[in-house]
Amino acid sequence: MVVSRAAKRIWLTGATSGIGRALALRLLDQGHLVALSARSEPALRALCRGRANAIAVPLDITDRASVIAAGQNLADLLGHLDLAILNAGTCEYLEHGQLDTALVERVFAVNFFGSLHCIEAALPLLRRAREQGKHPQLAATSSAAAYLALPRAEAYGASKAALSHFLESLRLDLAPQGISVSLIHPGFVDTPLTKRNDFPMPARISAEAAAKAIIGGLERRRLDIHFPRRFTIGLRLLGLLPPSLRFQLGKRLVRQPATEN
């Protein structure tokens, strides 16, 4: 396979739907050599069909052995990584303060530990790029929910906040190695995942608009890529309020249990 010298070697997870699919199509159209990962092999094959610069690497990010094997496969196929975009994620909500630890574990298995598995697999290939004089990037999709605690989002928000904190710390340790780290904090994006939401989603944007914002932020090597800014800046400002005031405002968003007649 012949790849232009300007093309990047990229690994993208969560590539077959929502933001991931929009990112995949945009990166492929730009001529980059992109390894695409998701659980569904048929969906990956369909996405790669007719695109010589697309490589299907099916995996379940919750299975560490599968991810490490995928990393070895990427090393054979690509040699190094200029950019890893860890985008796979999930969302489940708790209802009325009823703790379901199995639900929390499921969400963390994908959003936090699954991302860590991918980081573990990607870092050796990012270091190879640096050894070749390149400027590799590691990026992961967190959420604007990491900025502010919201009702029902105990599992989802905590998993994304944990991911953000982990990568902000890792950014410090990787800086001397020449690997930059970007965090992506989307607001509401129109995806199959958000279509399941049963509440208003202010400032919702398309997956294509989200992909454009992400790629633009990565090209500028922004540390925090957040959008739509009219929404995410508001959340960040609310997160700076005193705890008592955040509590009073947050209570207004709590859904009351349905009453039986």
pLDDT of residue 120: 98
Short-list 142, 3, 170, CA closest to 77:
3
Length in residues, the chain: 261
pTM comes to 0.91
Average pLDDT rounded to a whole number, residues 241-259: 81
71: its two tokens = 């990393």
> What fold characterizes domain 9-251?
Rossmann fold (3.40.50)
Map out the domains of the chain as residue ranges: 9-251
pLDDT of residue 2: 45
> What's the mean per-residue pLDDT of the chain?
93
97: its two tokens = 């303060």
Which one from 11, 147, 156, 231 is the annotated catalytic residue? 156
Residue 141 parent element (H or E):
strand 137-141
62: its two tokens = 């919750």
pLDDT of residue 4: 57
Asked if the model's pLDDT at residue 1 lies above 80, the reply is: no
pLDDT of residue 261: 46
Average pLDDT rounded to a whole number, residues 245-259: 78
Asked if the model's pLDDT at residue 23 lies above 90, the reply is: yes
DSSP 109: I
Instruction: Specify the range with the lowest mean pLDDT, choosing from 88-92, 183-187, 247-251.
Output: 247-251
93 in active site: no
Helix (H/G/I), strand (E/B), else coil: 73:
helix
